[in-house]
């Protein structure tokens, strides 16, 4: 049995495996090299332009406009008084219109205090006047008699005491005092009848029939119905727009329209700004203009309610003509009081707006030039420097 050939096959087998592995690795690397070096180079592709936001614009046309400054306030009576007893006594009579909410005319007797004590005082004062008049008459007679006697003595100079001149002056002074006491008693009697020197309305009462009062006792609160007023707060810009003077003796007569909702309907009253408060409010730093309405309780054919104290009203005050204003929709104004303007190269530019007046739907801006393209509606995507496409121009006609 021969074993030599089998040993030779076993010994040559590892070399064949190494050679085979090396060949596979070589050809693999060669193929990878051809793949990498033979790949075509990427060609630059043209990029599409990014989409631009589309905005609608308003072309500015500055012009003179008359605006209405809006503010608000509470209606108050121009005349409001507290009725107070000037004399003491028991309430003897009460008028039918001496109740809360009742109206009265100037001079109406609302209350009467028992007059008897004051009538007695008048009688005593009249007696004192009569006695003083009698004494004056007596002293005048004695004075004339003394003068005759002195002339009979043949002297041209008389002694004042002999002529009773001091006595006559004392009697005349006593008469004046008695007459003053009578006048005071009559005045006290007149004060037992409580009246008001203007037409008005009773707001509240504090006494009633049979109640005893001392001087100084509060009787009622009342206010006049001929004029009511509303204090209207105005900011610096509103004052500038209205051109209201803060000093001097200029008489004001600026029309104002007051409005409020009452009974489910909107009502209006016409009034006038007639004066400005003397001081600037120390808390709010605003100035108050005072609007007045005449005859607020006058009946009307429309059934309009009276403009009563306590009502809260809105006031619209017409301004003089303001030059170079632009009216824009409120949506054109950004939260920081700025506008976005489309430039000639279709990019957005930011500009701070000088707002003269604003409402829920509109803003009026000064300081803008003509033919500017203002973005009419703001969105969070719009910002300064952004390129935009512009829709057909919206030419704003404006409403004064």
CATH number at residue 288: 2.40.30.170
3-state SS class at 125: helix
pLDDT of residue 399: 40
Give the CATH number for residue 376: 2.40.420
Residues 354 and 366 in one domain: yes
315/74 Cα distance (integer angstroms): 10
Residues 203 and 91 in one domain: yes
Instruction: Please name which of 79, 88, 81 lies closest in space to residue 216, comparing C-alpha atoms.
Output: 88
394/328 Cα distance (integer angstroms): 11
Residue 93 host element (H or E): strand 89-94
pLDDT of residue 13: 65
CB 331 within 8 A of CB 378: yes
Residues 102 and 211 in one domain: yes
Residues 234 and 267 in one domain: yes
Residue 14 host element (H or E): helix 4-37
Q: Is residue 5 part of a domain?
A: no
Please list the ranges in the chain whose pLDDT falls under 50.
1-11, 397-400
Q: Is residue 10 part of a domain?
A: no
User: Strands 80-84 and 218-224: what pairing?
Assistant: antiparallel
pLDDT of residue 10: 45
Q: Which of 208, 225, 242 is the last residue of a domain?
A: 225
Range of the domain at 125: 115-191
Residues 262 and 333 in one domain: no
pLDDT of residue 149: 66
Residues 6+ positions from 324 with CB-CB distance below 8 Å? 62, 63, 64, 366, 367, 368
Residues 213 and 252 in one domain: no
Residue 351 host element (H or E): strand 348-352
Q: Which of 140, 168, 191 is the last residue of a domain?
A: 191
CB 118 within 8 A of CB 87: yes
Residue 111 host element (H or E): strand 111-113
Angle between helices 116-152 and 165-190 (to 10 degrees): 160
Q: Which of 167, 191, 215 is the last residue of a domain?
A: 191
pLDDT of residue 397: 42
Residue 187 host element (H or E): helix 165-190
Instruction: Please name which of 158, 180, 159, 178 lies closest in space to residue 170, comparing C-alpha atoms.
Output: 178
Q: Is residue 40 part of a domain?
A: no
pLDDT of residue 281: 85
Q: Is residue 177 part of a domain?
A: yes
Residues 187 and 204 in one domain: no
Give the CATH number for residue 129: 1.20.58
3-state SS class at 209: coil
Domain count for the chain, please give it.
4
Residues 305 and 338 in one domain: no
pLDDT (tens digit per residue) in 120-143 = 999 999 999 999 998 888 888 877
Residues 219 and 232 in one domain: no
Residues 255 and 145 in one domain: no
Q: Is residue 91 part of a domain?
A: yes
pLDDT of residue 400: 41
Q: Is residue 3 part of a domain?
A: no
User: What percent of the chain shows pLDDT beyond 70?
Assistant: 84
Residues 298 and 331 in one domain: no
């Amino acid at each position: 049995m021969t074993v030599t050939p089998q040993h030779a096959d076993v010994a040559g087998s590892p070399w064949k495996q190494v050679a085979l592995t090396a060949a596979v690795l070589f050809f693999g690397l060669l193929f990878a090299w051809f793949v990498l070096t033979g790949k075509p180079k990427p060609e630059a592709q043209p990029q599409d332009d990014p989409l631009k936001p589309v905005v609608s614009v308003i072309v500015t046309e500055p012009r003179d406009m008359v605006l209405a400054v809006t503010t608000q306030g509470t209606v108050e009576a121009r005349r409001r008084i507290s009725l107070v007893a000037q004399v003491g006594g028991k309430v003897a009579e009460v008028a039918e219109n001496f109740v809360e909410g009742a109206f009265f005319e100037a001079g109406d007797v609302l209350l009467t205090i028992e007059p008897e004590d004051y009538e007695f005082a008048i009688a005593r004062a009249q007696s004192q006047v009569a006695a003083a008049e009698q004494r004056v008459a007596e002293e005048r007679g004695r004075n004339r008699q003394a003068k005759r006697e002195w002339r009979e003595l043949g002297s041209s100079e008389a002694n004042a005491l002999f002529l009773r001149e001091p006595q006559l002056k004392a009697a005349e002074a006593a008469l004046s005092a008695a007459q003053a006491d009578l006048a005071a008693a009559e005045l006290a009697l007149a004060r037992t009848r409580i009246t008001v020197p203007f037409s008005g309305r009773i707001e509240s009462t504090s006494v009633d029939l049979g109640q005893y009062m001392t001087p100084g006792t509060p009787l009622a609160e009342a206010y006049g119905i001929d004029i009511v007023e509303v204090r209207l707060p105005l900011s610096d810009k509103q004052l500038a727009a209205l051109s209201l003077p803060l000093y001097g003796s200029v008489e004001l007569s600026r029309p104002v329209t007051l409005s409020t909702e009452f009974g489910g309907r909107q009502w209006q009253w016409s009034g006038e700004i007639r004066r400005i408060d003397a001081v600037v409010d120390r808390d709010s730093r605003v100035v108050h203009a005072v609007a007045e309405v005449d005859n607020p309780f006058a009946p009307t054919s429309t059934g309009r309610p009276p403009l009563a104290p306590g009502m809260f009203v809105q006031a619209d005050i017409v301004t003089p003509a303001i030059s170079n204003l632009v009216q824009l929709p409120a949506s054109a104004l950004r939260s920081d009081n700025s506008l976005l303007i489309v430039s000639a190269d279709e990019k957005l530019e930011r500009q701070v707006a000088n707002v003269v007046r604003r409402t829920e739907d509109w803003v009026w801006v000064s300081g803008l030039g003509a033919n500017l393209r203002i973005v009419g509606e703001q969105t969070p995507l719009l910002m300064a420097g952004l390129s935009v496409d512009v829709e057909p121009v919206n030419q704003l006609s404006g409403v004064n």
